[in-house]
Homo-oligomer: A and B are copies of this chain.
Amino acid sequence: MSTELTRKYLNELRSIIEIKDDAAALLMMEDLHPADIAEIYNDLSIEEATYLFLLLDPENASDVLVELEEYDRETFLKSLPSELIASQFIDNMESDDAADVIGDLAEEKKQEVLLHIDDVEQAGDIVDLLSYDEDTAGGLMAKELILVNENWGVATCIREMRKQAEDLDEIYFIYVVSDENLLLGILSLKALILASASTKVKDIYNAEIRSVRTDTDSEEVARIMEKYDLIVLPVTDSIGRLMGRITIDDVVDVIRDEAEKDYQMASGISADVETTDSPARLSRARLPWLIIGLLGGIIVAAVIGHFENDIKINPEMAFFIPLIAAMAGNVGIQSSAIIVQGIASNSLGLESTGRKLMKELLVALLNGIILSGILFLYNYFISKNLALTFTVSSSLFVVIIFAAMFGTLIPLLLNRVKIDPALATGPFITTMNDIMGLFIYFLMGRLLYGIFI
């Protein structure tokens, strides 16, 4: 039941666009979900995509707009008059989507579009939603919900719900409020369907519900919905009045974004970028980390420079520089990744820092013995240089222990001072461990070469 977007399909669509055959183009898009249409736009030129977009009926076009990548959406909206945007598209959106779309517009255009929305209540909802920070519950929530008063009977309830439901795609929960609009609980559709017509709402609703406040951080919202397996979460203001609700599909995006951000940081990419972004933007997102790496490399060069004489006398010391540096980086990143992930999924619990460090040290000890053992055997039998053999393997062992220690402590430390611990992984920790590792290596070299020669 899902249409796979094949290259063949795309080529056919392209040739239809070229001859501007409106009917054929519409026919080809007929069975597609708005999310599919939005996906096609990635593979078309702006002109081709605009042509298709203007063929769609307003309701379908609105859904496509919501699904589009921010950058593509801006391109479309820039070319359209504000009046058209307000009357054709915003009018067909739920309040949270409308606020997202309008929020991305330039300030002047934003005002124009808002003024052109006919339904003052809808415009008011959007203005309210725009006032919240994007990364809070207020920024995630939608205003549309089904509200019933605790004093109503089931029959009144169903009558009122029929009225309210017209604006909504789907009903998942019915919220029960007091006369002052304070959130009291939820009425499940199951309870409503199972109740007799004379029952009062206050007798069948469930008062044990979780809610968040408009200023709750969006990552906290995601954590709560994920932990308690919630589909919808009501949002209240600071005195408990019901302001809106957040659905799980919006939170899935938060969860994915959060995981991607950690992954990107670990890979040394600072801003949130996509393959579809421009080369200049992609370059800007990566340069900061690369420059850190470069400066680190220059510092390392200075550190090794101090040992120039040792290298002149024993050039074989230089052969193992990359090995020591790479292992310091790898071990450090492994340790920090485990900690970053533990912090992100909250699975660290209350386990104390000391215990965590001890465990990482134990793992490092185990790995250190095995790895420097392998390296010892290799050098002992292949290079037959005793000083080198002892220097390389004993430094590797010490470096692994230090790298694991830094890898564990730095993200914990960052987290304590409220800096995103994911910063610790990636080029930052690699660079620091390179410096530390090579310093240890050359010091050990000077010491051990002194003993063996």
Known: A1-B211, A162-B193, A434-B326. A308 touches B316 (CB 8 A): yes
Residues A267 and B297 in contact, CB atoms below 8 Å apart: no
Task: List chain B residues, Cβ under 8 A from A354.
Answer: none
**Of A15-23, A103-111, A280-288, which stretch is located at the interface?**
A280-288
Residue interface bits A297-325, CB-to-B below 8 A is 1, else 0? 11011101100100110011011111111
Task: List chain B residues, Cβ under 8 A from A161.
Answer: 193
Known: A227-B35, A294-B374. A252 touches B255 (CB 8 A): yes
Q: Give the copy number.
A: 2
Residues B296 and A326 in contact, CB atoms below 8 Å apart: yes
Closest B residue, CB atoms, query A361: B279
Partner of A33 from the list B228, B283, B316 (CB cut-off 8 Å) is B228
Q: Is A147 an interface residue (CB 8 A)?
A: no
Interface size on A, residues (CB 8 A): 121
Residues A318 and B321 in contact, CB atoms below 8 Å apart: yes
Closest B residue, CB atoms, query A36: B227
Q: Is A363 an interface residue (CB 8 A)?
A: yes
Task: List chain B residues, Cβ under 8 A from A165.
Answer: 190, 193-194
**Of A76-84, A114-122, A125-133, A343-351, which stretch is located at the interface?**
A343-351
Q: Is A262 an interface residue (CB 8 A)?
A: yes
Residues B296 and A348 in contact, CB atoms below 8 Å apart: no
Closest B residue, CB atoms, query A11: B350
Residues A193 and B33 in contact, CB atoms below 8 Å apart: no
Residues A252 and B248 in contact, CB atoms below 8 Å apart: yes
Partner of A301 from the list B193, B320, B427 (CB cut-off 8 Å) is B320
Task: List chain B residues, Cβ under 8 A from A112.
Answer: none
**Of A47-55, A135-143, A330-338, which stretch is located at the interface?**
A330-338
CB distance from A398 to the nearest CB of B (A): 15
Partner of A275 from the list B298, B322, B339 (CB cut-off 8 Å) is B339
Residues A366 and B294 in contact, CB atoms below 8 Å apart: no
Residues A226 and B269 in contact, CB atoms below 8 Å apart: no
A194 and B226 alpha carbons, distance in the complex (Å): 32
Residues A287 and B190 in contact, CB atoms below 8 Å apart: no
Q: Is A93 an interface residue (CB 8 A)?
A: no
A229 and B252 alpha carbons, distance in the complex (Å): 9
Q: Is A39 an interface residue (CB 8 A)?
A: yes
Residues A228 and B434 in contact, CB atoms below 8 Å apart: no
Known: A252-B248, A312-B312, A325-B326. A290 touches B211 (CB 8 A): no
Residues A279 and B316 in contact, CB atoms below 8 Å apart: no
Known: A323-B300, A347-B274, A371-B291. A190 touches B211 (CB 8 A): no
- Name, among A193, A274, A346, the residue most crowded by chain B CB atoms within 10 Å (CB to CB): A193
Contacts beyond the supplied A170-B231, A311-B315: 12 A-B pairs with Cβ under 8 Å = A43-B351, A161-B193, A171-B189, A226-B256, A231-B248, A255-B259, A263-B263, A267-B336, A279-B366, A291-B371, A305-B316, A330-B430
Chain A residues engaging chain B, CB cutoff 8 angstroms: 1-2, 5, 7, 10, 33, 35, 39, 42-43, 158, 161-162, 165, 168, 170-172, 188-190, 193-194, 209-211, 224, 226-231, 247-249, 252, 255-256, 259-260, 262-264, 266-269, 273-276, 279-280, 282-283, 286-287, 289-291, 293-294, 296-298, 300-302, 304-305, 308, 311-312, 315-316, 318-327, 329-331, 333-334, 336-339, 341-342, 345-351, 356, 359, 362-363, 366-367, 370-371, 374-375, 378, 425, 427, 430-431, 434, 438
The 21 listed contacts between A and B (C-beta, < 8 Å) are A39-B349, A43-B351, A171-B188, A171-B193, A248-B248, A248-B252, A263-B266, A267-B334, A268-B337, A269-B337, A275-B341, A275-B359, A280-B366, A287-B370, A290-B371, A296-B323, A297-B323, A301-B320, A321-B321, A325-B326, A330-B430
